[in-house]
Structure formats: C-alpha cells, structure tokens
Structure 1
Amino acid sequence: MMDRPLTRDDLEVFFRIRKKPGSDDRRALAKVLGALDIRLRGETTRWPVVWRAIGLAERQSRNHHLELTEPLLTAAAAADLLGQADPSIIYRWSVGKLPAGTPPFPPVIDLSGGRDNARAKRWRKAEVLAWHERRPLPQYAKAAPVFGALTPPN
C-alpha cells in the first residue's frame, strides 16, 4: 500500500482537483505539480515525494500513513465536515479570525505556489477533526531545512 505508485488520477483525488466530467484536461493538476515542484517519473510518483513537496519529511510514522494519504480538504469540504454553511468561514479561521478562546485553526497547505486568488488552499482532515474536537493536532515529521539554508549566529 505505501509503495504503490501514485498516478495522475490518484494525485487529482488527493489534492481535490476538480475537472469537468468527461474531460481529460490536466492543466489544473499540472499547475499544482509545478507549484509544488513535483516531477512525475513514468507518469507516477510516490508518497514521500508528495510529502516532501508539502513540507513534511519523506519518512513518516506508519501510524500517520492513513491520515497523510487521505484526500486533502477544500474550504467547502472542511466547512461541510464542521457543519458550517459558508466555506468562507474556513478562510477566516485560517488567518486567525476565530471566536475568543478557540485554539488556532490547523495550518493551511497552499498548493498555489504563491499565485494570487488561486483557490488552492487545503487542509488535512485529521487535523481539522482534532481541532474541532479540541484534541491536540497530529504531529507529523517535518522536512529538514536544505543544507546551507540556516546561517549560524554571529
């Protein structure tokens, strides 16, 4: 299961990329893959490549594998999950506009590569549910900084 190659269709499901029914248009996926610097080899990739692209370590605990391979949530899907009618509330919460006494909303996963108004914000279901239930957010192994990215103090 962990070592199965991910196809373009798998990636579209994971990143929740919508395409028109019956269409074979892959431009939306190509934009996300380009923004995340994911290059397909033989039209496939592996989970460690995807995890690294979204800021996680390539090696994750087996306990977290199911959470990390579950499709990401759009704002609309997160709002539905939390019983909210308007997806814009998710965007407000993600920038810190929360009711008093509410813990910070889980971090956003930006699939846009910095493009303005790209509507490419996603969240992990496990983190959103943990936040909603006021449990600690799952802790995933983070990617180490690139060698030379940190400068020693003077």
Structure 2
Amino acid sequence: MTPRRLAVSGVSVVALLVIAATFLVSGNAVQVAPPAPEAKVRGMCTALADALPDSVAGLERRDTEPSSPFTAAWGDSAIVLRCGVPRPAEMLDTKAAGGEIRGVRWLLQTSPDGRHRCTTALRKAYVELTLPAKYGDVGALMDLAAAIKKTVPRIQDGAKSS
C-alpha cells in the first residue's frame, strides 16, 4: 500500500512551533503539556481516553508525563494526542486545509520541519494530534476515527462551538 502523505500549506509557523515545544520524549514517558479543557468537554475527553486504541499507525501506546486523561502518545518520536485544546484560530480561515477521514473532519497544518498538527473540526471538543514528519500519512487519523466518533459528538448543523 502506498503511504498517503498529508499535503498542507498556509500554516501558522508560530502556532506549530509552540505545539512542537509542548512535548518531548524523556525515558519511557513522553512529556506532554496537558490542556485544561472546560468542564463541559472534560467528560468527553475522559471517555475518549478510555476508548483510544493500544496502537496507532502500527505504533504502541506510551505513557505521558504528567499522567492525564487529556493526553496520549504512541511510538518513538511520538505521535501525541491532546483532547480539550482551544479552537485554533486557523479553524476560521476559509483557506485553511482540511479533510474528512472515516467520518471525522480535521484541520490539517504542517510546519516547515515537516511536523503535522491535525485538529478535529465540527466536534464538541477539539482533539489535536501532532505527528512527526516521518509519520506523515493518514494512518494515525484513520486509527483514531472510531474512538473520536464514539466519544466526541459532532456539532449539530447551525450550532456554535466555543
């Protein structure tokens, strides 16, 4: 099977560099800055944590430090998930790159170093996935779609998200 690469342009470099700096690998745990979601999305993020797969894109799950139900990681040069992040400003940009994978819409961004940041769109909680350049295909997004659809409801047509 040919890898499917994420092709994205028009990225806020500053935003991606900030995200890239929020985690690093240390020992067996991945250091991840957990978000502080609003009360109305905490339950969704906790449910998502319980539904996440043990492997993503063929990579085994890793511990995060500090331990949080709002973060998860897989593999070395970790793929990192954070649930309950604020809505990215780029979400409102009509020229922003996006796509739908297995029923989950994503805002897709790529930094100059090739790192990808994908954030769910049209969901009641924003789930962010950061992928190192070497994992630039859509496999991780495909592997997470079922858990996200099961635990983070879509925003109904005409409803506003915060």
Task: Give the TM-score of the pair, scaled to structure 2.
Answer: 0.30
What TM-score does the superposition give when structure 1 sets the normalisation length?
0.31
Whose helix proportion is higher, 1 or 2? Answer: 1
Q: Which has the larger radius of gyration?
A: 1
Higher relative contact order (Cα pairs below 8 Å, separated by 6+ residues) = 2
